[in-house]
Structure 1
Amino acid sequence: MKHVTRLLVVSALLLIPSMASAADWPTRPVRIVSPFAAGGTADILARMVADHFSSVFKQQFFVENRTGAGGAIAVQGVATSPPDGYNLVITNISMLVTLPVMNPKLAYHPTKDLTNIAYVAGAPIVVAVNGSSGIKTIDQLIALGKKLGKPMSYSSSGVGTNGHLLGESLGKLAKINIAHIPYKGAAIGITDLIAGHINFGLPVLGTVASHLRSGALVPLAHSAGERVPDYPDIPTLKEVGYPDLTTTTWFSLSGPANMPRALAERLNREVAAMVKKPDIRARIQRDGMITETMSIEEFDKFIAAETTRWKPAIEAAGLVRK
């Protein structure tokens, strides 16, 4: 009996440092990894989160851009770091749903190797063309694709991203030949689109909001279920004849698996508080994004539901690696 009591006391004592460290966190700067190049939606949201957390927790939160493999490199790097709250990553539907389905041998598991802390915001994908192209509608773009005589090029933020899948689906539904040009970040692809190097792009609406306002890019349609209030003149893909292409590219905050639950819940609450701030909400809406607050448990269920939804489409497109 004394031996059992001694073991219980020792176990309790071992828990004290981790509990204390979670309560005292953060005592040094915290890294938030953005998986795409500076200027894209993931990067914008990463900096919003970093600024809010720096203000709330009175410690520096800094953003590190680490691109490549559709975000998998950044996610794997954080997944293998200590679960002490000092390494976080902006994740999205590609990293937590589509890439794991496409590659069963992916270096990380989206739920077993990560603590998925909070849903941050979602944005529809916009079908955009160069402002000087003369194209104003989806029908005109499809007509160009049918008479071009070669595959029509389009950009996305990488293989397996929502933009990639939507592009492949659009090509099949419209019966046109298309060529996917994956980039290491939305901003780089947008630069090439504005320069006229590719026929159309499929970025999230928030990433190209300023270019739409300036006229450098022309939006043909977006993938939300309804028109976005701040962009009422842009029709939905459902309206122009493609109801099956309704989707959003959502972004989230994740950390390594086995983070202290109390710490993960603190971060979840602060993300929810951040998106309710009037200035943040106004900026998010201006950039065409939609916010939704979820608990950690609700977000886990959401990821599972998204996986169930997209897996058949990915398999049908022949994108699953053998």
Structure 2
Amino acid sequence: MSAATALGTAPLVWAQAGYPSKPLRLLVPFPAGGATDILARTVSQKLGERLGTTVVVENRPGAGGTIGSDLVAKAAPDGYTLLLATSSTHAIGPALNAKLPYDPVHDFSPIAQVGLAPSIMLVPNSSPARTVQEWIQHARRNPGRLNYASSGNGTIVQLTAELFKSQAGLFVVHIPYKGTALAIPDLVSGKLDVLFDSLPTGLPHVRDGRLRALGVTTLKRSPLVPDLPPIADVLPGFESTTWFGLYGPKGLPTDLQGRLNTAVQQALADPEVKDKLARLGIEGVTGSPAQFAALVAADAAKWKKIVVERKITGD
């Protein structure tokens, strides 16, 4: 469901229910300044306006998002402590670590998806491939001779590349870096053959002519890069995006889930929010709590399969 769903713009205030009667805490399980943090601060102001209160963003980073997520899992289910989760905390992390201090399904109440961030397939300008199909053919002619970069073992960047390899039936060597920014110079120089990078960090290098983009990792064309064809046009069903979503602790009353969900949809429909998210490389996408739960379940199953199949471990 699009965030542009026609919803009223009046603040959502339920005086008869007494909620909210104080500020809400929105925990971000990652450091300040990152995409998740900026998204939280962009949406929180409008969310607070719709609820008739203040939404205070708190950064609780550490252990790949585990620390902040666990704090919300153990909070009171009263609607005053929320979590802005990502694919890392509730889909990839559980696939890599069976000993998380929280259960990503049973210890949380899904409220709403908030957005998604696609990645793009980048190659050096010296690459003989100008399309995804040509790159696949190039890799098939050179098994084991091509490589791909990632931002580290067990990251969405590695998993995306391994999903690509699995669906295309390729043998391509993994070279992990400590962040994709460190891999860019080697990709530009031709020492690397491909990188699946996020839009915010990868697209500027395409626009300045240093790299070539072959495709986007959404199922359909993304409004953020409408001229870039989906990799799924060549590999049907191929999809890899980082999703962002709002959770409360287990046991959050259904009426509060509904109230918060409606407020999220209204916040994402705001033109100012849409513009800020687009500049961040995030598409505002939402839906019902059930739709969000189904998205996470499907994503977790997909990455679990890839982790097991490709024998992937985290750093």
Task: Give the TM-score band, short-chain normalised.
Answer: 0.7 to 0.9
| Contact 1:112/1:257 (<8 A) preserved | yes
Aligned length: 291
For 2:294, the equivalent position in structure 1 comes to 301
Deviation string 1:2-55 (CA, Å, 9 cap, x unpaired) is xxxxxxxxxxxxxxxxx9997243524624314366233x23321222222243
Cα distance 1:258–1:284, how it changes in 2: closer, same or farther (>3 A)? Answer: same
Which of 166, 169, 183 is residue 193 of structure 1 equivalent to? 183
For 1:312, the equivalent position in structure 2 comes to 305
| Contact 2:123/2:211 (<8 A) preserved | yes
Cα distance 1:278–1:35, how it changes in 2: closer, same or farther (>3 A)? Answer: same
1:178 aligns with 2:174: yes
| Contact 1:35/1:68 (<8 A) preserved | no
Cα distance 1:255–1:206, how it changes in 2: closer, same or farther (>3 A)? Answer: farther
Cα distance 1:29–1:90, how it changes in 2: closer, same or farther (>3 A)? Answer: closer
The one-letter code matched in structure 2 to 1:193 is A
Deviation at 1:167, TM superposition (A): 1.6
Structure 2 distance, partners of 1:129, 1:150, is 15
Let me know the Cα RMSD of the aligned residues. 3.8
SS at match of 1:23: coil
Stretch deviating more after TM superposition (297-306 or 22-31): 22-31
1:229 aligns with 2:219: no
Deviation at 1:110, TM superposition (A): 0.9
Deviation string 1:100-133 (CA, Å, 9 cap, x unpaired) is 2333322211121112211111232212357xx6
Structure 1 distance, partners of 2:204, 2:147, is 25
Where structure 2 has 5 or more consecutive residues not aligned to the other structure, the ranges are 1-13
| Contact 2:121/2:196 (<8 A) preserved | yes
Structure 1 distance, partners of 2:225, 2:305, is 31
For 1:77, the equivalent position in structure 2 comes to 71
Deviation at 1:308, TM superposition (A): 4.1
Identify the structure with the greater helix proportion. Answer: 1
The one-letter code matched in structure 2 to 1:177 is V
Listed as ranges, the matches of 1:101-250 within 5 Å are: 101-128=95-122, 134-135=126-127, 137=130, 139=134, 152=147, 154-156=149-151, 159-171=153-165, 173-181=169-177, 183=178, 189-196=179-186, 199=192, 200-206=194-200, 208-210=202-204, 212-215=206-209, 218-239=212-233, 241-243=234-236, 245-250=238-243
Deviation at 1:142, TM superposition (A): 8.7
Where structure 1 has 5 or more consecutive residues not aligned to the other structure, the ranges are 1-18, 184-188
| Contact 1:35/1:75 (<8 A) preserved | no
Which of 239, 260, 270 is residue 267 of structure 1 equivalent to? 260
1:25 aligns with 2:15: no
Deviation at 1:190, TM superposition (A): 4.1
Listed as ranges, the matches of 1:275-294 within 5 Å are: 275-285=268-278, 288-294=281-287
Deviation at 1:206, TM superposition (A): 4.7
Listed as ranges, the matches of 1:13-92 within 5 Å are: 23-28=18-23, 30-35=25-30, 38-40=33-35, 42-56=36-50, 57-64=52-59, 66-69=61-64, 71-92=65-86
Structure 1 distance, partners of 2:146, 2:58, is 38
- Relative CO higher for 1 or 2, CA cutoff 8 Å, sep ≥ 6? 2
Cα distance 1:196–1:310, how it changes in 2: closer, same or farther (>3 A)? Answer: closer
Deviation at 1:273, TM superposition (A): 0.8
Structure 2 distance, partners of 1:21, 1:164, is 50
Cα distance 1:106–1:26, how it changes in 2: closer, same or farther (>3 A)? Answer: same
Fraction of identical pairs, as percent: 27
| Structure with max Cα Rg | 1
